[in-house]
A = this chain, B = another copy of it.
Amino acid sequence: MQLLPTCLAEIRGGSTEAVRAAELRQLQLTKPAGSMGALERLGSRLSGSQGTSPPRIPERPAIAVFAGDHGVHAQGVTPWPQEVTGQMVANIASGGAVVCALARQVGAELVVVDVGVAAPVDVLEPRVRFLDRNVARGTADLATGPALTREQAVAALEVGISVAHDLVDSGVDLLVTGEMGIANTTPAAALVAAFSGDDAERVTGRGTGVDDEILVRKMDVVRRAVERAASATDPVDVLAEVGGLEHAALAGLLLGGAQRRVPVVIDGVIAASAAITAAALAPDAVDHWVAGHLSAEPGARVALDHLGLEPLLDLGMRLGEGSGAALAVPLVQSAARLLNEVATFDSAGVTGKDAPA
């Protein structure tokens, strides 16, 4: 298995020439300079990722939802039973989850990948593509020791890389991160703390509905795990110590997209924790990523700030599944579309600002 080292070796940053060309083009379009705000910066970013100006308009977005379970569930860090992970994978596969409705709304393909669910997922007559790439039947309890072996972490990273490659090879031109995993905000918080250097208390949140008592316990688990991770020798070791299988696979998807120069939209705190992990492995990959939204989970903002990424949406969402990133897809397409389709002052015969009367 040489997927990971090859991927890391092939990643290049965005093209500064293409970014500059897009920025110049923005100034010629029939609109006041800068008046489309973040959408203009996004258009230039897409140019950099693709290495061309104007950027191609993404027409084949695909959402990859990676699912996994977590030994840390035993610590009582969530009020949801662990079996919900597999049940929700089945719900996604049968088209009934939030991310399914949003994928239909934005015209995105959807694939759900079992990379670490505890019990085999029973998917009869799936309406959504389901991939069984299970690396382990859930992680070990990160409160008491490493969540993963190094080999498991690498295998899950490579699941994500290979899913990115397969999707891009099939014509997908915009990758969207999604995940499902009861208790997975705990390893996400630990990854964000470990790679940002920020406090466990600052990055740990209430996930999908944690009360004060559970929150204190969760912060304590995260703090102790991050202390242990401080002696890790490299980013993969940190990921193995405190991460999760879907976090690793998402990091792989982010790296595989960057390798192929296909933009990847980051969803909430799980995807952001995967991104901060992936950036530790390949800092140049960040140029190929777009922050879809700002999750209500505090670790998301810490991770995005650390990566220098500006979230497009801020709707107070904290669902995961890829929901916030899916909603951002039309914004990404719009940013590229403007650079392709808006007339210039010259071509439209429109007088510019400050022209003599």
Contacts and interface: CB of A to CB of B under 8 A. Distances in A.
A35 interface: yes
Contact of A104 (B296, B341, B347): B341
A94 B350 CA distance: 13
Given A36-B317, A81-B351, A350-B88, A333 B105 contact: yes
Given A319-B31, A343-B97, A349 B87 contact: yes
A91 B317 contact: no
A83 interface: yes
A96 B343 CA distance: 5
Interface stretch (A12-20, A151-159, A220-228, A307-315): A307-315
Give the copy number: 2
A94 B313 CA distance: 31
A79 interface: yes
Interface string A313-344: 11111110001000100110110011011110
| Max count, chain B CB within 10 A of own CB: residue among A83, A327, A347 | A327
Contacts of A124: none
A31 B342 CA distance: 39
Contacts of A343: 91, 94, 96-97
A98 interface: yes
Q: Is the interface of A mostly helix, strand, loop or mixed?
A: loop
B36 A355 contact: no
A348 to B, nearest CB: 4
A128 interface: no
A136 to B, nearest CB: 22
Interface string A128-148: 000000000000000000000
Nearest to A341: B101
B312 A315 contact: yes
Given A94-B348, A105-B334, A330-B106, A88 B342 contact: no
A84 interface: yes
Contacts of A296: 37
A349 B84 CA distance: 9
Contact of A37 (B316, B334, B350): B316
A269 B77 CA distance: 45
Interface in A99-133: 100-102, 104-106
Interface in A61-84: 79-81, 83-84
A209 interface: yes
| Max count, chain B CB within 10 A of own CB: residue among A80, A88, A101, A348 | A101
A39 interface: yes
Contacts of A318: 32, 35, 37
Nearest to A206: B32
Closest 5 CB pairs of A and B: A96-B343, A37-B316, A32-B208, A35-B319, A101-B341
Given A36-B319, A80-B351, A97-B343, 17 more contacts: A31-B98, A31-B319, A36-B323, A37-B315, A38-B316, A38-B317, A39-B315, A79-B354, A84-B350, A87-B348, A87-B351, A91-B348, A98-B342, A105-B330, A209-B353, A314-B314, A327-B334
20 contacts: A30-B98, A31-B97, A32-B319, A35-B318, A37-B318, A38-B317, A39-B315, A79-B353, A80-B353, A80-B354, A87-B351, A90-B349, A98-B338, A100-B342, A101-B338, A101-B342, A105-B334, A312-B315, A327-B330, A330-B330
